[in-house]
Structure 1
Amino acid sequence: MSDKIPEGSLIYNRYQIQGVVGQGGLGRIYLALDKTSFDERCAVKEFAPPEDYHPEQIKKARELFEGEAKILHDLAHDQIPKFRAFFEEAERLFLVQDFIEGKTYKELQKEGYLLVEKEAMQLLADLLPVLDYVHEHNIIHRDISPANIIKPNRGEKPILIDFGVAGKLGGETIVGNPLYAAPEHRDFSDRGNCFPSSDLYALGLSIMVLLTGERPMKCRERSYRLELYQKYKFGDRLTKILDKMLAEDPIQRYQSAQKVFGDLGPEYYGRLQTTVVGGRLGTSKELIWKAIAIFLGVVVIGGLLVVVPPQLEERRINNIFNSSVKEARTAIALALNKKIERALQDSETLMDLQNAYGEIGENWQKAEKQLENAIEQLNKIPQKRAEVYLKVQKVLPAYERDLQALSLLSDSLELCYNATNTMTAGKLSEEDRQEVRASFLQVGENLNQIPSDSSFRDRADKLGQICNKPPI
């Protein structure tokens, strides 16, 4: 990466550099004064990829930088930074845009800020028109996250930033932040296709994280989200909206920002709109009666409680055991599959691990929830079913050890990913250094907790080898 431009320097005979205000893997952002416009403040982005990039990487990175400039030039919206200039000087490439005074929602979250439900609905109402505008221009942002949404200091509407990996509909995509990317966006086997609904997924996930403070990988799992909806007492409207925005299958999601906006309610768009919403979980009383019915071995037919014959009940319990064991074995096989093993074996450094993060983390997270569900079903088998219950007690301890190991591995992988992102973002403050060291220490503690007889001990050892020498 080239040396930063000294404060006070004048570039393009117009922009006076005031200092660096941001830094990423491909360059830095300066605050500058436009000397031809009464010292108006602006943001100057300099293209400065790492020195160890090979020519093909530099070429691709430059294409992305130029693509961002072209997109900003073509877009004109109050909630997107305004394009000012794009030029090359002294063999350096620059993009100039409006300077937005404020903090990103990621910065606010690190300070302990969480949305309340009304604020979340308002944030959706403020951002959906921007996405609608972007999608109308056949552009997919592809990198929506709390880090790319700014809350301006002057109480204006939020600003959507960083179109560095945005692109036209239908083209091959590049993943921005894999923590927030939609499933089809992370699917490298299909070249990561994405659609307007992919942006809506990332926005919905950002809202979930900002409401709860939970990890995005956790919030992606619907079973976990259902728990969060209840824990934080989300209203029915917000629950239904977020659930549809975060559907795994892109076809099951909202297909446009306008559709989401239509479900927000008249208080957010000034006119009454009738919305038909299908599907219902049932009232709390209904759910309680269903739980009692299952416990007593009865089913509900036409509003009547019908006793299940003992033979059928025995068969039902056996089916639960067999299907749960099968699900547990499938989960463990998924987490230990050869593809993941190769990805870990091929990772010698933290940067190698960054590249494999999406694939490894996705599989581990999915396997963790699948194994958790299998254990939950096994624990429901009553002790009075002695024969099956004894079989449960034989398999359960091993599954529980593997679940603990998977959870520790997933947490450690995410800690490594976030710490490496911090290290590669540019000059680190002492606070950043302490945070990175604490992350790697926590990784070590996590991995040491994984038992020697766990199916995942080898994976833990390999992850430990990669992470045991942080470069700071």
Structure 2
Amino acid sequence: MSDPNSQDRQDSRLSQKLCDSGQLFRDRYEVVRVLGRGGFGVTHLARDRMLPGSPLCVIKQLFPKVSHPIALERAKQRFRREARILGRLGSHSQLPMLLDYFTFQGEFFLVQEYIHGDTLSREVRKGGAQKEPVVKKFLAEVLPAVRYIHRNRVIHRDIKPPNIIRCRDDNRLVLLDFGAVRECLHHDDDPGDHAASPTTHFVGTMGFAPPEQLALRPTYSSDIYALGVTCLYLLSGKSPLEFDIDPETQELDWQRSVSISQSFERLLSKMLTTDLSARFKRIDEVQRALQLEEHYSNLERCLNRVPRAAEAANPEDVELEQNLSPIQRRAAAIRSLRQRQQQHSRGSSGQGPVFPL
């Protein structure tokens, strides 16, 4: 029986070798230090000595969780396919550019553009929870990147504050670490199981992934949910696992933890609902709602008329009005205004004025 820790020890030795050898990795990359470790691999900071100025880059060493030769070859094929997708997406200014990808000693490697800056999670740790205008600005800035990903028929699946970094050079937000490439690294060791596919494994982060993603059926709307949870983190400084959950609906109980306008609360509620039929379906819908949100309070004052005490309708009429749409309420208010003005005009001159609708 194989030692389950042997692979991890081998990975650690390779990672240490890359940092301490003093030699160029693949005769090109000078590994400077380890940036981070996780269950899927190790991320290194390196310099590309083949380019003028030896610019910094990021080398991601990914650990395949497969051992059978046929399964490993399938994982390599999926890795190449997903790496090509990353290469295509990297043309967007808010996504890191893929510089290279290859396999070496049974490991998978991605080389990406180095983004110098702080993640959103680090910003909150340093500066605390953020105010509503700042969070709205974040949402407006990050939505175009997610929209671009979806238009290329890719679901990110791991949107969260540690995967969004603010570039120190130009202050732009950059979205990191797609879940797609990590998906090809899971166990798939039965070469005779032709039905096995990457979708049989969960990819994402607990708390940021909605129920359908946990059920291995992610949609574009799943990324919208994760963006909503990211907004909650920015507003409250709390991880999604710190919020209570309604046991029947699985909805997060977040409204009492933030202080925001009613209109923004409605927008977030539509991003954060676990009901797929009620959640925003596309990024375009979120963008339109966000653009209208800043004018919504003014629109509400124009469209909704609260009657004075002397003019208040009977309780049945009030209840009926509350069930009307904003347009219907506006039409009712106009009709009521016309009736009062006509009555006033008849009382003074015997003839009521005409109002264009």
TM-score (normalised: structure 1): 0.51
Q: Pick one of 8, 19, 35 that aligns with 1:6.
A: 19
2:266 alignment counterpart: 240
Report the equivalent of 1:45. 60
Identify the residue that residue 156 of structure 2 maps to in structure 1: 141
Match of residue 32 from structure 1? 46
Q: Which runs of 5+ in 1 are unaligned?
A: 278-282, 284-299, 305-472
What is the distance in 2 between the residues matched to 1:245 and 1:61?
34
Structure 1 counterpart of 2:291, from 265, 275, 282 = 265
- The separation in 2 between residues aligned to 1:267 and 1:156, in whole angstroms, is 24
The percent of aligned pairs where both chains have the same amino acid is 30
Match of 2:254, SS?
helix
Query: What are the equivalent positions in structure 2 for 1:445-464 lying under 5 Å apart?
Result: none
Summarize the Cα distance change of 1:158–1:223 in structure 2 as closer, same or farther, 3 Å threshold.
closer
**Per the alignment, do residues 69 and 239 of structure 1 end up closer, same or farther by CA in structure 2, a change over 3 Å counting?**
same
**1:157 CA displacement:** 1.6
Q: Map 1:193-232; keep pairs closer than 5 Å.
A: 193-217=217-241, 218=243, 222=251, 224-228=253-257, 232=258
Matched residues in 2 for 1:132 and 1:176: separation?
Answer: 19
What is the distance in 1 between the residues matched to 2:223 and 2:316?
A: 43
Unaligned runs of 5+ in 2: 1-7, 184-197, 301-305, 307-314, 320-357
Superposition deviation, residue 220 in structure 1: 6.1
Q: Is the 1:197–1:254 contact (alpha carbons within 8 Å) kept by the matching residues of 2?
A: yes
Q: Report the AA paired with residue 118 of structure 1.
A: P
Q: Secondary structure at the match of 1:151?
A: strand
User: What does the per-residue CA deviation read over 1:57-101, in whole Å, with 9 as the maximum and x for residues that have no partner?
Assistant: 984876775454232112121111101011233444321010111
Residue 17 of structure 1: aligned partner: 31
| 1:181 maps to 2:209 | yes
Deviations 1:114-138 (A, max 9, x none): 2211111111111111111100111
Letter in 1 for 2:112: Q
TM-score (norm 2): 0.66
TM-superposed CA distance for 1:37, in Å, is 1.2
- Counting matched residue pairs gives 272
Q: Are 1:152 and 2:167 matched, yes or no?
A: yes
Partner residue, 1:364: none
Q: Deviations over 1:318-350 (max 9, x none)?
A: xxxxxxxxxxxxxxxxxxxxxxxxxxxxxxxxx
Query: Residue 48 of structure 1 aligns to which amino acid in structure 2?
Result: F
Q: Structure 1 residues 149 and 68 mapped into 2: Cα distance closer, same or farther (>3 Å)?
A: farther
Aligned equivalents of 1:267, 1:302: Cα separation in 2: 29
Where 1:16 maps in the other structure, the secondary structure is: strand
The answer to whether the 8 A contact 1:114-1:211 is kept is: yes
**Residues 21 and 171 (structure 1), Cα distance of their counterparts in 2 relative to 1, 3 Å cut:** closer
Q: Which residue does 1:438 correspond to in 2?
A: none
Q: Which residue of 2 aligns with 1:74?
A: 88
Specify which of 38, 52, 55 is matched with residue 67 of structure 2: 55
Query: Shift of residue 171 of structure 1?
Result: 5.6
Query: 1:369-415, CA deviations, whole angstroms, 9 ceiling, x for partnerless residues?
Result: xxxxxxxxxxxxxxxxxxxxxxxxxxxxxxxxxxxxxxxxxxxxxxx
2:100 equivalent among 85, 99, 107: 85
Alignment of 1:156-167 (within 5 A): 156-165=171-180
CA RMSD of aligned residues (A): 3.7
* Secondary structure of residue in 1 paired with 2:142: helix
Q: Which amino acid aligns with 1:96?
A: V
Decide whether the 8 Å contact of 1:80 with 1:160 is kept in 2: yes
- On the 8 A contact 2:264/2:293 being kept in 1, the answer is no
2:40 aligned partner, one-letter code: L
**C-alpha displacement at 1:212, in angstroms?**
0.7
Contact 1:173–1:185 under 8 Å retained in 2: no
Report the Cα distance in structure 2 between the residues aligned to 1:36 and 1:182, rounded to whole angstroms.
43
Q: How does 1:352-391 map to 2 (within 5 A)?
A: none
Amino acid of the structure 2 residue aligned with 1:114: A
Residue 207 of structure 1 aligns with an amino acid whose one-letter code is C
**1:149/1:64 Cα in 2 relative to 1: closer, same or farther (>3 Å)?**
farther
Tell me, yes or no, if the aligned pair for 2:224 and 2:271 is still in contact at 8 Å: yes
Asked if 1 retains the 8 angstrom alpha-carbon contact of 2:179 and 2:203, the reply is: no
Residue deviations 1:351-376 (CA, integer Å, cap 9, x gap): xxxxxxxxxxxxxxxxxxxxxxxxxx
Using the alignment, how far apart are the partners of 1:29 and 1:136 within structure 2? Answer: 28
- Counterpart residue type for residue 12 of structure 1: R
Q: Which amino acid aligns with 1:259?
A: E
The one-letter code sitting in structure 2 at the alignment partner of 1:79 is: Q
Structure 1 residues 31, 303: CA separation in 2 closer, same or farther (over 3 Å shift)?
Answer: closer
**Larger helix proportion of the pair:** 1
Deviation at 1:258, TM superposition (A): 1.1
Determine if contact 2:120/2:161 at 8 Å carries over to the other structure. Answer: yes
